[in-house]
Amino acid sequence: MEQASVTLTPIPPYDFNLTALSAVYFRDRYGTNWFDGAVFRRLLDLKGKRCLTSVRSLGTLDSPQLEVKITGASLDDTTIAATKHQIAWLLDTDTDLSPFYVMASQDPILNPLVCGLQGLHLPHSASVFEALVLAIQGQQISFHVARLLRTRLTETFGAPMKIEGFTYFAFPRPEALVAAGVEGLRAIKFSARKSEYIVDIAAALASGKLELEGLHHQPDREVIRVLTSIRRVGLWTAQWLLISALGRSDGFPHDDLALLRTLGILVNEGKPFQPEEALQYSGRWSPFRSYVTAYLFAAVRSGRLA
């Protein structure tokens, strides 16, 4: 194994701890993301070449700097550059949040919430495919069950790398899930329907019939049209992918039950909003509704908002 080290300089304010915690949903692990309170780790699969990245903060909120250690075989300049770019995307180092902060400072509901989470950036998924599979996998089940299934999926079908006695796993490639088939997913306790949907999407990607990464270059409306044309993908999933997979600023999953409850606590005397009410109310936050959504959930998961 070879090692290399690069640095990233995020756009301030940047709180590495909050951002890394958000990437693991304020736990120690989410899918292939790990965070132990000091180091964020992720095994990347860069076109078949696996690299373990270990990221720690060397800076401050207003003068941030991240050290990225890369471990892998044959670390050439191209691989190192690709790894650096992927980590910058995963941990959202290149977004300027100042326009959002200006808007939030003028909103009496958002201002105290945002001030308490200053420097939180929005982590992204490594690929649209990964975000889509995890969104389908997590539909209509508890967070605890979803977490177990994510771990099984990764550790059964993801490519492994053993480093210093510990085995890390990359997120499964479409070809691996096609090879597993419906029966392979059923064997790790996925439902029959979810197994079918995920294998169908993986097969369409592997054969070239479906191309998801190109959605990065499409406007929001076209992204939603393409995603909702896929079986089992509704507006809720498409809106979440605008936020988590594509880094868009104005995604708003207005029929998310947890979001409706949280908005009800904040602005409706504890009574949950109806989806259309939430969508109408959210108009005052456009074009920054992705950030509002992320900050609301971070406040709940971190215990800042009961």
Residue 263 backbone phi and psi in degrees, to 5: -65, -35
Q: How many residues does the chain have?
A: 306
CA 63: distance to chain centroid? 25
Q: Taking each helix axis from N to C terminus, what angle separates 257-267 and 289-301, rounded to the nearest 10 degrees?
A: 90
CA 79: distance to chain centroid? 22
- What are the residue numbers of the active site? 256
CA atoms of 60 and 181, how far apart (whole Å): 47
What DSSP line would sit under 180-227, residue for residue?
HHHHHHHHTT--HHHHHHHHHHHHHHHHTS---GGGGGS-HHHHHHHH
